[in-house]
Structure 1
Amino acid sequence: MSRTIRISLAQVTSGTEPADNLKIIEAHTRAAAAAGSSLVVFPEAMMRCFSGPIRGVAEPLDGPWADAVREIAQRIGITVVAGMFTPADNGRVGNTLLITGPTTEAHYDKIHLFDAFGFAESDTVAPGSDPLILTIDDVTVGFATCYDLRFPALFQRLGDLGAELIVVPASWGSGPGKVEQWSLLARARALDSTAFVAACDQAEPDNAGGTAPLGVGHSVVSSPTGEVLGELDATPGLLTVDIDAALVAPIRAKLPVLANRRQF
Structure 2
Amino acid sequence: MSGTAPPARPAVRVTIGQLAISEDHAANRLAVVDALRTAARARADLLVLPEYASGFDPRGVGPEHAEALDGPFVSMLREQAAKTGVAVVAGTMLPGASPARGVNAVVAVDGSGALLGVYRKVHLYDAFGHRESDRLEAGPPEAPPLLLDVGGLRFGVLTCYDLRFPESARRLVDAGAQVLVIPAAWAAGELKALHWRTLAVARAIENTAAVVAVGQAGRGVVGRSLLVAPDGVVGLELDDKPGIRTADIDGAALAAVRERNPSLRHRRYGVVPLD
TM-score, with structure 2 as normaliser = 0.88
Aligned to 1:181: 195
One of 73, 82, 86 as aligned partner of 1:78: 86
Asked if the contact 1:12–1:236 (Cα under 8 Å) also holds between the matched residues in 2, the reply is yes
* Range 249-258 or range 111-120, more displaced: 249-258
Matching of residue 118 in structure 1 with residue 139 in structure 2: no
Of the three residues 41, 50, 69, the one matched with 2:48 is 41
The alignment yields a C-alpha RMSD, in angstroms, of 1.7
CA contact (8 A) 2:187 2:222 kept: yes
Conserved 8 A contact 2:92-2:106: yes
Give 1:59-98 correspondences, 5 Å limit: 59-90=67-98, 91-98=100-107
Following TM superposition, by how much is the alpha carbon of 1:35 offset from its aligned partner in structure 2, in angstroms? 1.3
Aligned to 2:266: 260
- Aligned partners of 1:2 and 1:246 also within 8 Å: no
State the shift of 1:260 in Å.
1.6
The correspondence of residues 47-62 of structure 1 with structure 2, limited to 5 A, is: 47-51=54-58, 54-62=62-70
Provide the aligned length of Structure 1 versus Structure 2.
Answer: 256
Tell me by how many angstroms 1:133 deviates.
Answer: 1.4
Distance in 1 between residues matched to 2:48 and 2:66, nearest whole Å:
20
**Following TM superposition, by how much is the alpha carbon of 1:12 offset from its aligned partner in structure 2, in angstroms?**
1.0
Which of 36, 46, 51 is 1:29 aligned to? 36
1:120 Cα deviation from its structure 2 partner: 0.8
SS in structure 1 opposite 2:53? coil
Matches of 1:192 and 1:155, distance apart in 2 = 10
**Percent of pairs with identical residues:** 39
Q: C-alpha offsets along residues 131-177 of structure 1, whole Å, 9 cap, x if unaligned?
A: 22121222101001000111111111111111111111000000111
Cα pair 1:4 1:244 within 8 Å, conserved: yes
Displacement of 1:117: 0.6
Instruction: Give the partner amino acid of 1:140.
Output: R
Question: What is residue 146 of structure 1 aligned with on the other side?
Answer: 160
Structure 2's unaligned 5+ residue stretches are 1-7, 271-275
1:250: Cα distance to partner?
3.0
Is contact 1:149-1:186 (8 Å) kept? yes
Residue 204 of structure 1, CA deviation: 3.2
1:155–1:192 contact (8 Å) kept in structure 2: no
Answer yes or no: is the 8 Å Cα contact 1:159–1:194 preserved in 2: no
Q: If the length of structure 1 is used for normalisation, what is the TM-score?
A: 0.91
The whole-number CA distance in structure 2 between the counterparts of 1:164 and 1:227 is: 16
Corresponding residue number in structure 1 for 2:273 = none
Tell me if the contact between 1:45 and 1:84 (Cα under 8 Å) persists in the aligned partners: yes
Give per-residue Cα distances to partners, 1:228-256, cap 9 Å, x unaligned: 01001111111211001223333223222
